[in-house]
Amino acid sequence: MDRMTDRTSHRWGVLALLAVTVVWGTTFPAMKDLTAEVSPIRIVAVRFLIAALILSPLWRGMQKAEIKAGIMLGSLLFVAFMLQVEGLVLTSSNRSAFVTGLNVILVPLIGTLLGQQVGWRIALASGLALAGLLALFWEGASWNLGDTLTLGCALFYAIYIVLLEFFAHRHAVRSLRPERLAAVQSVALCGAGMLWLLLTEPVELPALAQQVQRHGVELIYLGVVASALMIWLQAWGQRRVRAVEAAILYGLEPVFAAIAAWFWLAEAMTVRALLGALLIVAGMIISQLEPDRTG
């Protein structure tokens, strides 16, 4: 019965992380569209201000351990987001999503360095996902600064995934509640974004208010759905799924990003890109053929 419960919990975790992947895939064209008029740091600051306000009721009864863990996670996520949005200014939506997806191989690598064992199934799935990313990424254009910044994002996000597993999955910290971690992370991200904004840009409130008004739909979507809800759902899902498996699921993000970019920005997908998407899907399926017990 316990094994059946573990497997059911694992399946729900997989579905939760797939939902996160779908939603976050749609944020690439949304962010690319916004960066044409709004600076990256303003997007991050306003996005997570909205998320922090939405999750503010959860601060009642917050534990010190949840605050410490949330600040650490939020700080890592802030660096990853800033590198990503700065990179988006200099590269395409598709390429940004694909390079970010390299955490599919970075997470198992970090786990190996920390002494964790990676089985053949995860290794094969990671290899297929990496091959798919390379196929998706290939556009014939040379590597640029935007791609380098995005690669830095992938590294910090891989560290974030591994640390989130430690906080959200280990028996010693079962008391850390996913929704509380999400609330603290949102405040940490908002605070860091506002501080960075004040230090680097002159803030004219009327101009900022006009930008928020013009792009209200995108910002509300990014703040409420893609941030507040998805950060909570990710922490909830990773209590049930290992970090290396989660990274493979997140590898589907470029697929959904490419589909969204095709609809939103009219960015084309080649036959090579479609083949890459199929390889990533194959890797995800292999990773879930015989799910490991997460209990």
pLDDT in tens, 134-164: 776 665 667 788 888 988 998 999 899 888 8
- For the record, the structure tokens of 260 come out as 């969204």
First to last CA, the chain: 13
Identity at 140, one-letter amino acid code? G
Looking at residue 141, its pLDDT comes to 64
Residue indicated by tokens 């922490």:
235
Q: pLDDT tens-digit profile of 196-233?
A: 888 888 777 787 788 778 888 888 899 999 999 999 99
Looking at residue 118, its pLDDT comes to 67
How far apart CA 208 and CA 44 sit, in angstroms, is: 13
Question: The dihedral of CA 6, 7, 12, 18: what is its sign?
Answer: positive
Choice between 50 and 97, residue whose per-residue pLDDT is larger: 50
Helices 230-237 & 178-200 angle (0-180, nearest 10): 130
Looking at residue 1, its pLDDT comes to 41
Looking at residue 68, its pLDDT comes to 92
Helices 230-237 & 2-34 angle (0-180, nearest 10): 150
Q: pLDDT tens-digit profile of 64-113?
A: 989 999 999 999 999 998 898 788 778 776 677 777 777 777 887 787 77
Question: The dihedral of CA 190, 199, 80, 138: what is its sign?
Answer: positive
Q: pLDDT tens-digit profile of 249-266?
A: 887 777 777 777 666 656
Band the pLDDT of 56: cuts 50, 70, 90.
Answer: very high
Give domain limits for the chain. 8-287
How far apart CA 195 and CA 161 sit, in angstroms, is: 25
Question: 1: Cβ–Cβ under 8 A, 6 or more apart, which residues?
Answer: none
Instruction: Kindly report the average pLDDT of the chain as a whole number.
Output: 80
